[in-house]
Amino acid sequence: MKIATFNVNGIKARLNAVTDWLDESQPDVVLCQEIKSVDQGFPREPFEDRGYNVETHGQKGFNGVAILSKRPLEDVRRGLPGDDSDEQARWIEATVMGDHHAVRVCGLYLPNGNPAPGPKYDYKLAWMQRLEARARDLLADEMPALMAGDYNVIPQAEDAARPEAWKDDALYLPQTRAAFRRILNLGFTEAFRARTEAPGYYSFWDYQAGAWEKNNGIRIDHLLLTPAAADLMTDCQIDAFARGREKPSDHVPVWIDLAA
């Protein structure tokens, strides 16, 4: 089962880029972020025509998450538990039925948090506390599960071409990285780093200042696996080539293969 995370940066603006990548890479499941569309406005047909079931948790103009799956989806839930007053569309989860295992897939778009300090950063840290609580519940369920998406977290210096440029940014502040590590330390595997320890791998390049051409990137799109899911992983890759395509997202897909 090939499962990808992809911050599409506007599903309507990137429709061709996304469908071209789907045709080329043939993932079974895609967890999309920043669809920037209400549920009714999501362009379902191009994906359904390709055999995908579509579940969305949208919001007008910004945020928004979705699941595209060639396999049946069960028990779809929208919104990260823990704060009923949170109206931002940043979390969607469902159970995907594989040939051998059911896998709980959780798609997330973690808050950016800038400017920090400030209320946006407070919201980010509070959201990460709620994420940690949901992570604990996923572990307790003991089924294969993953939390994948745009975490807006640069975990370590190797995950930025110029880490010094990010030292005061909400993506790289010590409190952010500590909150991310607390989740990992519950027993999760960060899929890409389990396969590749080398620096120089990124999933985001800004549109400004020739970042792509200079390979001035950061790695902020992650897949965190429970032990039961980590045992099934056979590969994890970043499709960096997608950033060089016409009208690309500023993020690229990151995917895993699970023997599920």
Which two three-digit tokens encode residue 165?
């440029």
Q: What is the pLDDT of residue 151?
A: 99
Q: Pick the closest to residue 241 from 255, 223, 224 (CA basis).
A: 255
* Structural domain of 196: 2-258
Write down the pTM of the prediction: 0.98
Q: Is 39 an active-site residue?
A: no
Q: Is 109 an active-site residue?
A: yes
Say what angle helices 119-141 and 174-184 make with each other, to 10 degrees.
10
Residue 7 is labelled as binding a ligand = yes
Residue 101 is labelled as binding a ligand = no
- Ramachandran angles phi, psi of 179, nearest 5°: -65, -40
Q: Pick the closest to residue 63 from 8, 124, 3 (CA basis).
A: 8
Q: Which of 28, 52, 109, 121 is catalytic?
A: 109
Q: What is the pLDDT of residue 55?
A: 98
Q: Pick the closest to residue 257 from 98, 61, 141 (CA basis).
A: 98
Locate tokens 């994890």: which residue? 236
Residues paired with 191 in a beta bridge: none
* Cβ–Cβ under 8 Å, residues 172 and 163: yes
Domains of the chain: total: 1
**Which residues have a Cβ under 8 Å from the Cβ of 69 and sit 6 or more positions away?**
28, 29, 30, 52, 53, 55, 94, 96
Q: Is 251 an active-site residue?
A: yes
Q: What is the pLDDT along the chain (260 residues), one digit of tens a residue?
A: 999 999 999 999 999 999 999 999 999 999 999 999 999 999 999 999 999 999 999 999 999 999 999 999 999 999 999 999 999 999 999 999 999 999 999 999 999 999 999 999 999 999 999 999 999 999 999 999 999 999 999 999 999 999 999 999 999 999 999 999 999 999 999 999 999 999 999 999 999 999 999 999 999 999 999 999 999 999 999 999 999 999 999 999 999 999 99
Residue 239 is labelled as binding a ligand = no
Residue 250 is labelled as binding a ligand = yes
In DSSP notation, 39-97 reads GGGS--HHHHTTT-EEEEE--SSS--EEEEESS-EEEEEES-TT-TT-----EEEEEEE
Half-sphere exposure of 217 (CA within 13 A, CB side): 19
Half-sphere exposure of 120 (CA within 13 A, CB side): 11
The CATH number given to whatever domain includes residue 32 is 3.60.10.10
Q: Which of 28, 57, 121, 150 is catalytic?
A: 150
